[in-house]
Structure 1
Amino acid sequence: MRTITEGVLDSSRCPECGTDIQADSRFTTWCPDCDWNVDPGGPEEKKSRLEMLRRTLAQRHGEKLLATMSADAAEEQRTPRDVYGVLAYAIALLIHGVTAVLFVAGVWCLVSGWGGFLMLPGAFLLLLGWALRPRLGRLPKEEATGVVLRRSDAPTLFALIDEVAKASGTRGVDAVAVNAETNASVRTYGLRGRLLTLGLPLWESLSPEHRIALLGHELGHYSNGDTRRGLVLGSAFRSLALWLYYLSPDANPTNALQIVTNLVISVPRLLVLGVLMLLDTLTLRATQRSEYLADSAAARAGSTEAAVGLMDRLLVIDSIDIILRSEVNSRRLRRGGQARGTEGDGLWEELAAHVASVPESEYERQRRAGALRGHSVDATHPPTHLRRRRLLDGAAVPAVVAADEERVGRIAAELADARRVVAREVVRDGVDGA
C-alpha cells in the first residue's frame, strides 16, 4: 500500500508547448518551460478592503525597500526615525487618550451621579475604558496552548536560542510555548519577559539548519527596532480591533431596531476603520523593513542557504496543513483500535517524512506562483519572492550557529513530552478547518 509520502510519477506532454512533463501525482502538474498550470488556483481571494489595501501596500513598499536596502548596505544599521513613525506614535497615544477619557468619564459619572441616572452610563463607560486599556501580555495557559517550557525544562533548547540571539544582536527568551499551529512567533509578556512560540507542524517540518534560521528570524525582530510589536503601537492596534468588534453590525437585521442600530454604528465604525487603515499604512514600511532585517538575522545565524530554504518551506505550508489534517482524520477514524494515549504516536515523523518527500519541482512551482500572486506570509510581510531575492542577491554568509547531531538529539529529547502532548491534542481535537 502506498503511503502519504509516496506519489505516482506520471509522464505527459504540456498542452501549450508540447514539452514532456514528469509529475508527482500528489501535486499539481505544470510545465516548467512555459508555466502552463503553474498557478491553477489563481490569485488569492481578498477578504476585505483593509486586506486588499495591506496586500497592495505590501507589494509596493516591499519593492521600494528591496531597492533601497540592496543599494545601501548601511541601511541595515540605521534605526529609521521618519515622520511616518512619529505620526503613528502620535495616533497611538491619541487612541490611548480616548480610552483614558472614557475611563475618567465613567468614574466621574459614578461619583457625581451616585444613586441616580448617571450610574448606568458611568458603569458602561468605565467597563468600556477598562476593556480597551493598554495591557501587558501574559504567558499563555498550558491547557489552551499546548505546553509552556522554562529553562529548567529544556536547557539545551534554551542554550541554542541564546546562541542564536547573540548572533542576532539581542538576548534570548524567558519561556517557549509549544503548540499545534503551523507558525512561529515572538512576543513580550509582563514588563520584560519574552515568549517564543513554536508550532510543532512547522518546527517538525524543518531541518536543523532551517530551525536555526527560523529562530534567527524571530529573535531578529527584537534587535531591529520592530516598534509595531511594542506596547504603545501594539496595544493601539488591539484597541482598534476591539472597537471594530464592539461596533460590528448585525449581519441579518430582522426588525426596525436592528436596522436603525446598524445605521447609527456605521459612522463610528467607518471612523475607527479609517484610523486603523491610517495607522496600518504609517507603520507598514517600518514593519516590512523589520521583516527584511529579520531575514538578515536568520541568514547570519543559520546561513543564507538555510534562510532561503526556510522561505521555500513557508511556500508549502498549505501542503503541510493538508497532510496533517489528512493524517489526523485517519487516526481519529481508527482511534477505537488504539491504546489510550498512543493515538498521536508517529504523527510528527509522518509529517516530516512528507515534507522531505516534496519534489524540487513543487518548490519551483510554488516560487513561480508566489511571484505571480505576490505571496506573503501575511498582509504585513513583504512578498516572499522579494525577501528571497534580497538574500540571494547579497553576499552569501555562512552559519554562525552549528546544528550538530548531538545537540539536535538532546533538543529532541527535551521536546519529547511536549511532542506527545500536542500530538494527542491534535488528534483528539482535530485540526482547524477539518
Structure 2
Amino acid sequence: MPETLTTTTTRPCPGCAAQIVTDPRFPAWCPACEWNLGAEPPRGRWRRWRRARDHARIERLYAKLAARPDDLRVGHGAPWFLAVLLAALVHLCTLAVLAGSLWLLVDGHPFLKPLGVVGLGLTWLLRPRLGTWRADPAVLAREQAPALHALVDRIADELGTRRPDRIRITRAFNASYRVQGLRRRVELSLGLPLWTALTEQERIALIGHELGHGSNSDQRRGPWLHTALRTLEAWHALMVPHAGDAFRRRAAHTGAIEDLVAWLLLWCAGPVRLLHHALHRLTALSSQRAEYLADEMAARAASSAAAGSMLGKLFLRDTAWTRVFQQSAAAQNRMLPKGTDPVEEFWTGLGEYLESVPPAEHERRARLSARDMTAVDVSHPPTHLRVQLRTQRPQQPAAVVADPSDWAAIHHELAPARHRVAHELLGL
C-alpha cells in the first residue's frame, strides 16, 4: 500500500489572506472566512425558501430540547393522532381490496371470479410489510461470538431494553436497530468501517444508541406506523416501475406510447407519494426526538464524553469511503507489498487513516453539517446538533466498561467478518 502523505504546509487564504494550514490529503479551506468550505448551497429562490423552512423546523425542535434538557421523552400529540389515522387509511385500503376479492370469489358473478383471483394477488402485493427474518451470512450467532453478545447483553440490561435476537456485521459506515417479522424479533447491525473508526468506549456508546431505540418511543418504529410507511413505499414501487423513473429523469428516450404510460403511472402514484410525504412529515419531529433520546442512552451506557466523540466520528463517513476507494484501487492494481495480508492491511490502514485526520478536517466537516444540516439519513437530526446537545446535557459517567481481555476476545470473534467485509469492499 502506498504511504500516506501527512506533510502539512502553510499558505495565505485566497479569500481573506489569513494563514491556513493544509494537508494534501484533504481540501484546503479557511476557518476565518470559510473559503472552499464545500459545495455551495442550492440556488434558486424556491429551493432556498424550502431549505430555510426545513432548517427552521429542525432548529425549533432543538431549541425546545435545549430549553428543557430533562424532558426528552416522545409525546403523543395531534401529529401522532393524524399519523395514526392516515396509517389506518392505508391498512383499510388493503383490507377493502381483500374483502372485495373474497366477495367476488364467493358470491360474485361467475364471469367476475377471475377478477377476484386477480384481487387476491393484488392484496398480496399491497400487504403490510413486517420485514423478513431469514438466514444471513452476515449474522454472528451467539455461539460464534459469545464475548460480543455478552457485551451487548450487558448494555441492554443496563439500559432496560430488549436484548437483540441476533447481531449482523455489515460493510456500512453505520449501525442500525430493526424489529422484524411476525414475532417482532430484534436485529442489531454493526458496520465494521464505523466500528474500526471508534475507540472501545465509543463502541459501547454506539451499541447503547442503537439498543436505546427499543425503549425511546419512536413512533416510526411502532408496527402500526412503520408498516404503513413501508406499505406506501411498496405501492409506489409497484405503480412506478423503473421505466417511469427513467422517463421522469429523462435519462433515456422512449416511444410515444411508453411516454404516455410512464406519465399516467406517475400521475396515479401521486396520491401515494403525497400520503407517504404526509406520514413522514407528521412523524418527523417524533423520530428526531427519539434519536436525541437514543443519544442520551448512549451517554448513559458509555459516558457523555464517549457518546459525544462517537457522534463526532460520524462526520468522517465520506472521508472513510474515500480511503476505502483508494485501498480498493491499490489492491486491485496489486500495489500491496509482497507478503502483505490484504485484509489486515485494509483494516489497519483504514483505522490509522481515520485516526490521523487533522483537527482542521474535523472542523470542516462539522461546519458543513451545520451549514447544510446534514444527517445520517432523513430520520435523524443533523449530526452537529446531536453533538451540540451532548455538551449541554448533564454529564454522565460510564455505566458499562469492558476489560481488555473482553475486547481481545471480540476482536478475535470478528476476524471472519473482517475477512468477508474486506473482500467485499476491496472487490477481491
TM (normalized to structure 1)?
A: 0.88
- 1:154 shift after superposition: 1.3
Query: Do the aligned residues in 1 keep the contact of 2:330 with 2:336 (CA within 8 Å)?
Result: no
The match for 1:381 is: 380
The match for 2:185 is: 193
Mapped pair 1:64 → 2:60: yes
- 1:274 shift after superposition: 0.9
What aligned pairs does 1:321-336 form with structure 2 within 5 A after superposition?
321-334=321-334
Closer, same or farther: CA 267–152 of 1 in aligned 2, 3 Å: same
Give the match's secondary structure for 1:195: strand
Mapped pair 1:180 → 2:175: no
Closer, same or farther: CA 411–56 of 1 in aligned 2, 3 Å: farther
Q: Which residues of structure 2 form unaligned runs of 5+?
A: none
What aligned pairs does 1:311-390 form with structure 2 within 5 A after superposition?
311-334=311-334, 343-390=342-389
Task: Measure, in 2, the Cα distance between the counterparts of 1:73 and 1:198.
Answer: 29
Mapped pair 1:237 → 2:229: yes
- 1:194 shift after superposition: 0.7
Aligned partner of 2:197: which letter? S
Query: Do the aligned residues in 2 keep the contact of 1:12 with 1:21 (CA within 8 Å)?
Result: yes
The match for 2:291 is: 291
Aligned partner of 2:30: which letter? C
Closer, same or farther: CA 239–319 of 1 in aligned 2, 3 Å: same
Residue-pair matches, total: 416
Query: Do the aligned residues in 2 keep the contact of 1:104 with 1:126 (CA within 8 Å)?
Result: no
The match for 2:142 is: 151
Task: Measure, in 2, the Cα distance between the counterparts of 1:43 and 1:210.
Answer: 32
What aligned pairs does 1:167-316 form with structure 2 within 5 A after superposition?
167-190=158-181, 191-248=183-240, 249=244, 251=247, 254-316=254-316
Q: Which residues of structure 1 form unaligned runs of 5+?
A: 430-434
- 1:80 shift after superposition: 0.5
Give the match's secondary structure for 2:261: helix
4+ long deviations beyond 6 Å: 335-339
State, as a whole percentage, how many aligned pairs show the same letter: 36
Query: Do the aligned residues in 2 keep the contact of 1:61 with 1:288 (CA within 8 Å)?
Result: no
- 1:87 shift after superposition: 1.3
Closer, same or farther: CA 139–177 of 1 in aligned 2, 3 Å: farther
Task: Measure, in 1, the Cα distance between the counterparts of 2:215 and 2:377.
Answer: 21
Decide which of 158, 162, 175 is 2:153's aligned counterpart. Answer: 162
- 1:342 shift after superposition: 5.7
- 1:413 shift after superposition: 1.1
The match for 2:8 is: 9
Task: Measure, in 1, the Cα distance between the counterparts of 2:162 and 2:239.
Answer: 40
The match for 2:104 is: 109
Decide which of 126, 131, 140 is 2:125's aligned counterpart. Answer: 131
Aligned partner of 1:126: which letter? L
Query: Do the aligned residues in 2 keep the contact of 1:347 with 1:423 (CA within 8 Å)?
Result: yes
The match for 1:85 is: 80
Closer, same or farther: CA 118–163 of 1 in aligned 2, 3 Å: same
Query: Do the aligned residues in 2 keep the contact of 1:213 with 1:301 (CA within 8 Å)?
Result: yes
Any idea what the Cα deviations from partners look like across 1:137-171, whole Å, max 9, x if unmatched?
A: 2335425xxx2012222121112112222333312
- 1:217 shift after superposition: 1.0
Task: Measure, in 2, the Cα distance between the counterparts of 1:344 and 1:264.
Answer: 50
Any idea what the Cα deviations from partners look like across 1:237-262, whole Å, max 9, x if unmatched?
A: 11111111122136156344333323
Task: Measure, in 1, the Cα distance between the counterparts of 2:346 and 2:336.
Answer: 17
Task: Measure, in 1, the Cα distance between the counterparts of 2:85 and 2:202.
Answer: 39
Let me know the Cα RMSD of the aligned residues: 2.7
Any idea what the Cα deviations from partners look like across 1:66-95, whole Å, max 9, x if unmatched?
A: 22222223422x440111111111211210
Query: Do the aligned residues in 1 keep the contact of 2:164 with 2:188 (CA within 8 Å)?
Result: yes
- 1:318 shift after superposition: 0.4
Closer, same or farther: CA 245–135 of 1 in aligned 2, 3 Å: closer
Aligned partner of 2:334: which letter? R
Aligned partner of 1:62: which letter? I
Aligned partner of 2:309: which letter? G
Any idea what the Cα deviations from partners look like across 1:334-373, whole Å, max 9, x if unmatched?
A: 299989x965343222111111111111101111121111
Any idea what the Cα deviations from partners look like across 1:377-431, whole Å, max 9, x if unmatched?
A: 11221111211111112222221111432221111111112211222233336xx
Task: Measure, in 1, the Cα distance between the counterparts of 2:348 and 2:67.
Answer: 43
Query: Do the aligned residues in 1 keep the contact of 2:151 with 2:402 (CA within 8 Å)?
Result: no
The match for 2:392 is: 393
Decide which of 77, 89, 93 is 1:94's aligned counterpart. Answer: 89
Query: Do the aligned residues in 2 keep the contact of 1:70 with 1:390 (CA within 8 Å)?
Result: yes
Give the match's secondary structure for 1:194: strand
Aligned partner of 1:210: which letter? E
What aligned pairs does 1:15-54 form with structure 2 within 5 A after superposition?
15-39=14-38, 41-43=39-41
